[in-house]
Amino acid sequence: MRNLNQFTRFGFKNGVYSFIFLLSILALFLSITTLCIFYPQNPLSFTNTFGDQTTGQGGSIQLLDSIIEKLMDQMRALENSAIGSIEHSELKDMRLKHTAFLAEILGLTGSLKLSLAREKEDIHQQQQRTPPTETHPLSRSNGSLDETAEFFLTEEIRKYTKIKPNRLGKKNFMGANGTFMSIGHACFSLKEELEEYMDYDVGDFCKDDWKQAQRLMVLGCDPLPRRRCFARAPKLYSKPLPINESIWNLPDDRNVRWSGYRCKNFACLAANRTGKGFFKCSDCFNLTHHEWLRWMQVNTSDFLIEKVLSIKQGEIRIGLDFSVGTGTFAARMKEFNVTMISATINLGAPFSEMIALRGFVPLYLTINQRLPFFDNTLDMIHSTRFLDGWIDFILLDFILYDWDRVLRPGGLLWIDSFFCKNKDLEDYLDAFRMLRYKKHRWVVVPKLDKDGEEVFFSALLEKPPRPF
Ligand SMILES: *[C@@H]1O[C@H](CO)[C@@H](O)[C@H](O)[C@H]1NC(C)=O
Ligand SMILES: *[C@@H]1O[C@H](CO)[C@@H](O)[C@H](O)[C@H]1NC(C)=O
Ligand SMILES: *[C@@H]1O[C@H](CO)[C@@H](O)[C@H](O)[C@H]1NC(C)=O
Ligand SMILES: *[C@@H]1O[C@H](CO)[C@@H](O)[C@H](O)[C@H]1NC(C)=O
Ligand SMILES: *[C@@H]1O[C@H](CO)[C@@H](O)[C@H](O)[C@H]1NC(C)=O
Ligand SMILES: *[C@@H]1O[C@H](CO)[C@@H](O)[C@H](O)[C@H]1NC(C)=O
Ligand SMILES: *[C@@H]1O[C@H](CO)[C@@H](O)[C@H](O)[C@H]1NC(C)=O
């Protein structure tokens, strides 16, 4: 009896206490590891807050090792205490149960350690595959960017589209971890053409293939990948005319590469003849007659610049001319101290070069693109001979909302001689009404050359303030 009492006081009691102690350690440990196990798939976002995840897991495995060691110690101590002592059967039973329990916990802890080690290995491999970037949305997209690069066979396209991490592995001043150069998704369906376009020798002169580039852009491969070759220039470029002469004189023919155009000089473009290679604004290279009067005299346009600007005296300073033309609108607006940028592509004639040689800013832009201006910045958008009855209603919607985005409150939208079939007119007018702009002018004029089937529409609209 005494023997039993003693054992209870020292041996058994001790055993139970250390057992409870062990259990609480185990509980604490389990809660930590559970936390660690729940988040390992997110090493990118947790690296910053929790430090290096790998060392964290290395620590857990060490902790596991020491727990296993303590469990083993305890089991050994129990076995030792049993040796040589005559035991009460009840006590013996208890001891056996205790040992079995410890063995079970030991087994569970062992497998936990194993799975942790495996997980650590996995994360290590993952980190080697994708370096821990500060989760740029593209780097999270399952390596689809690399798939983009793999899609094309030309090495230059691959080099262009691959993510370029910053040199020092830190964010740059713009807050990005790397540089992501994109291409228009229509490039994928234009694979062969794009590959041909991107097949060149780095550092050499590019092929004379601007036309192919423009075709790709018009078909939606926009933005086009950039190239690392030197664009061809006119053979004998002479300096442009001084600004007081350049605006109203045809430029020097030598300042344009004429390959790719039917006309081979400006006189051909200005002459009143067919077969120039373009039909929109067929007279717009004739600066002395056709262009000279536009927007300045009645019968050349529905509204005159002077009248339009008087609506907002002195308020219109900068704007965009989204038209087909040679920069005459910008030229006239300059006389009113307004700076216009002329968006254009070279459809059949060197429009961009012409605008630049006259002394204005040509913006080489297709209709596919979002305007490269920030919200609420421009005082005016003018458009003529561009949006016509060919345009799809959904496309028109996207374009009008983008124009609205860049126009400032109180800015003017000048729709100049939009033409369409008579029967489509109401639908188009609804598209413009959708903007809910203030109408300064709004006119519909029958177009005389197509048996009255077509009509012109012009409007002068003002973007309302949106103080929300
Ligand atoms: C990510 O890639 C894995 C295999 O690489 C694939 O099983 C999974 O569906 C992909 N997820 C997405 C969102 O593409
Ligand atoms: C991205 O930035 C984070 C810090 O913001 C840095 O820890 C990480 O290494 C960077 N990754 C790359 C690939 O530059
Ligand atoms: C243009 O300006 C230059 C000097 O600025 C002058 O020499 C020239 O005569 C001017 N040309 C015309 C057509 O006014
Ligand atoms: C511009 O048009 C007028 C009238 O049609 C013509 O007389 C003149 O020669 C043209 N200008 C050029 C440069 O062709
Ligand atoms: C161009 O020629 C056509 C006839 O061929 C004529 O109707 C038109 O007025 C001419 N344009 C100019 C600007 O002279
Ligand atoms: C402008 O149109 C009116 C009739 O609407 C006409 O009488 C006049 O001659 C035209 N002027 C010019 C410059 O064409
Ligand atoms: C344009 O600015 C100049 C110089 O500031 C000024 O003399 C001229 O009157 C202005 N023109 C208009 C149309 O406001």
In this predicted model, what pLDDT tens digit does every residue of 66-94 receive, in sequence order?
Answer: 888 888 888 788 777 766 666 677 777 78
Ligand number nearest to the C-alpha of 285: 4
Q: Which atom of ligand 6 is nearest to the CA of 293?
A: 13
Whether 310 is in the pocket of ligand 7, judged by its Cβ within 6 Å, is no
Q: Record the pTM.
A: 0.71
Q: Which has more confidence, 121 or 427?
A: 427
**57 Cα: distance to centroid of ligand 6 (angstroms):** 87
Q: How many CB atoms lie within 10 A of CB 426?
A: 9
**Nearest atom, ligand 3, residue 244 CA:** 1
Q: pLDDT band for position 141 (50/70/90)?
A: low
**Binding site membership of 245 for ligand 3 (Cβ less than 6 Å):** yes
Report the separation in Å between the CA atom of 357 and the middle of ligand 3, taken as the mean of its atom positions. 16
Distance of CA 384 from the midpoint of ligand 5 (Å)? 20
223 preceded by a cis bond (ω within 30 of 0): yes
Residue 467 alpha carbon to ligand 2 centre in Å:
39
In angstroms, the Cα distances linking 439 to 41, 76, 92, 443, 459 are: 57, 94, 100, 10, 7
Q: What is the pLDDT of residue 83?
A: 65
Which residue, by CA, sits nearest to atom 2 of ligand 5?
A: 272
Candidate of 239, 243, 245 to mutate for ligand 3, largest count of ligand atoms within 8 Å of Cβ:
245
Identify which of 9-23, 140-154, 161-175, 232-246 has the greatest average pLDDT: 232-246
| Separation of CA 250 and ligand 7 centre (Å) | 26
Question: What's the 408 CA to ligand 7 centre distance in angstroms?
Answer: 23
Ligand nearest to the CA of 130: 2
Q: Tens digits of per-residue pLDDT, 291-322?
A: 999 999 888 889 999 999 999 999 999 999 99
- The residue whose C-alpha atom lies closest to atom 9 belonging to ligand 4 is 271
Beta strands 339-344; 361-364: pairing state: parallel
For the chain, the C-alpha Rg in angstroms (whole number) is: 38
For the four alpha carbons of 327, 333, 337 and 340, in that order, the dihedral sign comes to negative
Indicate the average pLDDT of the chain: 84
Quick one: DSSP state of residue 373? S
**Strand ranges for 280-356 from DSSP E:** 318-322, 339-344
Distance 133 CA to ligand 4 centre (A): 62
300 lines ligand 5 (CB under 6 A): no
- Phi-psi category of residue 157: left, alpha or beta, with phi > 0 → left and psi -120 to 50 → alpha: alpha
* Mean pLDDT, range 141-160, rounded to an integer: 78
Q: What pLDDT, in 10s, does the model give residues 153-186?
A: 888 999 999 888 898 888 888 889 889 899 999 9
CATH 3.40.50.150 domain span(s) along the chain:
243-462
d(C-alpha 170, C-alpha 63), whole Å: 33
Which of 143-147, 212-216, 252-256, 447-451 is least confident?
Answer: 143-147
Average the pLDDT over 212-239 and give the result: 95
Distance 436 CA to ligand 4 centre (A): 42
Q: Quick one: tokens of 79?
A: 């076995």
Nearest CA to ligand 6 atom 9: 299
CATH class entry, domain 243-462: alpha beta
Distance 311 CA to ligand 7 centre (A): 17
Distance (Å) from CA 149 to ligand 7 centroid: 53
Report the nearest atom of ligand 7 relative to the CA of 336: 13
- The response to whether residue 337 sits with its C-beta less than 6 Å from ligand 7 reads yes
Please tell me the predicted confidence (pLDDT) of residue 92: 76
Q: pLDDT of 347-358, one tens digit each?
A: 999 999 999 999
Ligand 4 atom closest to 270 (CA): 14
**Ligand 6 within 6 A of 299 CB?**
yes
Residue 289 Cβ inside 6 Å of ligand 5? The answer reads yes
pLDDT tens digits, 372-427: 999 999 999 999 988 888 999 999 999 999 999 999 999 999 999 998 999 999 99
Question: Is 336 close to ligand 7, i.e. is its CB under 6 Å away?
Answer: yes
Ligand 3: centre distance to CA 417 (Å): 36
Whether pLDDT at 40 is above 80: no
Query: CB 194: neighbour CB atoms within 10 A?
Result: 24
| Range from 132-141, 161-170, 414-423, 452-461 carrying the lowest mean pLDDT | 132-141
Q: Is the pLDDT confidence value at 151 over 60?
A: yes
- Does position 143 have pLDDT exceeding 70, yes or no? no
Q: Is the pLDDT of residue 29 over 80?
A: no
At 205, is the pLDDT very low, low, confident or very high (cuts 50, 70, 90)? very high
Atom of ligand 7 nearest to the CA of 337: 1
- DSSP readout, 97-144? HHHHHHHHHHHHHHHHHHHHHHHHHHHHHHHHHS------TTTTSTTH
pLDDT computed for residue 44 by the predictor:
39
| pLDDT of 54 above 50 | no
Lowest mean pLDDT among 37-46, 158-167, 287-296, 434-443: 37-46
Q: What integer pLDDT is reported at residue 43 of this predicted model?
A: 37
Average pLDDT over residues 442-454: 83
Site to probe by mutation for ligand 6, drawn from 299, 300, 448 as the one with most ligand atoms within 8 Å of Cβ, is 299
